[in-house]
Amino acid sequence: MTPAPSPKAEATRARILHEALARFREKGFDATTMRDIAQAAGMSLGATYYHFESKEALVMAFYEESQEALQDRIPEAMAAHRDLASRVREVIRLRFEQFQPYRAMLGALFRNAADPQHPLSPFSPATKGIRDRAIAHFEEAVRGGDVKVPKDLQPHLPRLLWMYQMGLILFWIHDRSEGQARTWTLLDKSLPLIVSALKLARLPLMGPVRGAAIDLLTTVLEPEPASPA
Amino acid sequence: MTPAPSPKAEATRARILHEALARFREKGFDATTMRDIAQAAGMSLGATYYHFESKEALVMAFYEESQEALQDRIPEAMAAHRDLASRVREVIRLRFEQFQPYRAMLGALFRNAADPQHPLSPFSPATKGIRDRAIAHFEEAVRGGDVKVPKDLQPHLPRLLWMYQMGLILFWIHDRSEGQARTWTLLDKSLPLIVSALKLARLPLMGPVRGAAIDLLTTVLEPEPASPA
DNA sequence: AAGATTTTTTGAACCTGTTCAAATTTGAAC
DNA sequence: GTTCAAATTTGAACAGGTTCAAAAAATCTT
């Protein structure tokens, strides 16, 4: 796809991204100008655009890099937690920890969350690669957890948990309480409920209910387009 | 607040809005330029800005006007439906019917849905007036319905139903299926579930569960700032 | 190393939302 | 009808994201 990984342009790219993020963190996404970034990186505006298609592409690169960085920390984190709630909580906690310095600017990323067509949306085709890896974390959390998940729910659960995380992140971004305390309260109140519901879902009588819920789910979830040969 | 309703500026305003909406419908929000609109309305760009603070203000005016227009149709619609599911469905159906011609451009309104601070977000302080009236429709639907709602849930239900509607609208806007068939499927599958859950919620054993759910709810819902005297 | 080719960089636009001071028009008071 | 203030309109800017042809630098070929 990309013609070549490029030799040392990689360094320039990294420098631009670095300078951009520093400014995003400090003054926010909107207040930072592409001209600011170009100047900080010591190059012309046009050159900056040679390395990044758009201002938003910078945020995308950040998103990508973040996912990369988290990748490594999941295994050890999972090794330290046994029960499902703790495992899921840990995945989410790590993400928050990582996003912390960028909380303000993340508004810019999630501004477009509601438009699944927008490249920057966490739900867009453009972010599928990142999304899939993020979902894999929850797959991992569930797999090694202590809760037996019904067969029919199994293929959906990781994605559902990822969506749950997305909701929390959205809440967190706009949470103006001290230290985002309300988000943590929400997490600690909702996660146990989810896990309880999961345990309840295994009860014999619950078959039909589960069926209805999953039926609903498949209606909502876009059918993944079959990748052509 | 507003100094005066203005005499005939109202007509100019209406003309601008009319021309703007025609173009939004035809070419979409983004592809329509403020210069286009000014020209269509037969006036200078600056004059257009005299009547509308911003391009988004045009969408806001549309949103406002829509709410106004729906207001009248609710009573008769409710008179024709007895059971709760039908009543709620009717409120939602009316909204879809009204938004139909603007479906494409509504992406622009809901683009900012995820940012509760953004004026155009249906969740923003700026849209509270409209929102409150929309919620009132659901209040009406519940009040005259055939389902007895538990006391502790009562104050929350209308808003919850409104949020449910918002979710459906969001889904609908991005639903690319023929005639947005998937949205209707979703509605017809989810609404009965909601009503069933509501009926179940009244069962004696459900008290604690309901309590936990409502507790969670009040954590999520921003505490409305007390209006100062 | 000269020439050819590709990658980077530059600088000058362009576009579109928005702002604003300076007219112009309108309407009320006299 | 003249006068004055307020409401409206104009035209010319500005800002910031984006584009692009042309120049410069780096890399490759022989």
Q: What digits encode the pLDDT tens for the residues A62-87?
A: 999 999 999 999 999 999 999 999 99
Q: Is B182 on the interface with A (CB under 8 A)?
A: yes
Q: Is A10 on the interface with B (CB under 8 A)?
A: no
Top-confidence residue, B44 or A225: B44
pLDDT of residue A142: 96
> Contacts of strand D, CB cut-off 7 Å?
A 7-8, 30, 32-35, 45-46, 49, 53-56; B 3-4, 6-9, 12, 43-47, 49-51
Letter string b/e over residues A183-204, b meaning 16 or more CB atoms within 10 A of that residue's CB: bbebbeebbeebbeebeebeee
B111:A115 CB<8 A: yes
Residue B19 confidence (pLDDT) above 50 = yes
Least confident range from A217-226, B63-72, B83-92: namely A217-226
By CB atoms closer than 10 A (0-12, 13-18, 19+), residue A1 is: exposed
* The two three-digit tokens of residue B176, written as one number: 């690319």
Q: What is the mean pLDDT of chain A?
A: 90
Residue B48 and residue B37 in contact, taking contact as beta carbons nearer than 8 Å = yes
Q: Which helix (H) or strand (E) holds B161?
A: helix B157-173
Nucleotide nearest to A47 (CA to C1'): C9
Q: What digits encode the pLDDT tens for the residues B46-85?
A: 999 999 999 999 999 999 999 999 999 999 999 999 999 9
Kindly list the residues from chain B whose CB atom is less than 8 angstroms away from the CB atom of residue A113: 114
Residue A221 confidence (pLDDT) above 90 = no
Residue B210 confidence (pLDDT) above 90 = no
Rg, C-alpha atoms of chain A: 20
* Among B43, B36, B35, CA closest to B12: B43
The residues near A211 (Cβ < 8 Å, ≥ 6 apart) are: A152
The residues near B137 (Cβ < 8 Å, ≥ 6 apart) are: B70, B74, B91
pLDDT of residue B38: 98
Q: Tell me the pLDDT band of B229, cut-offs 50, 70 and 90.
A: very low
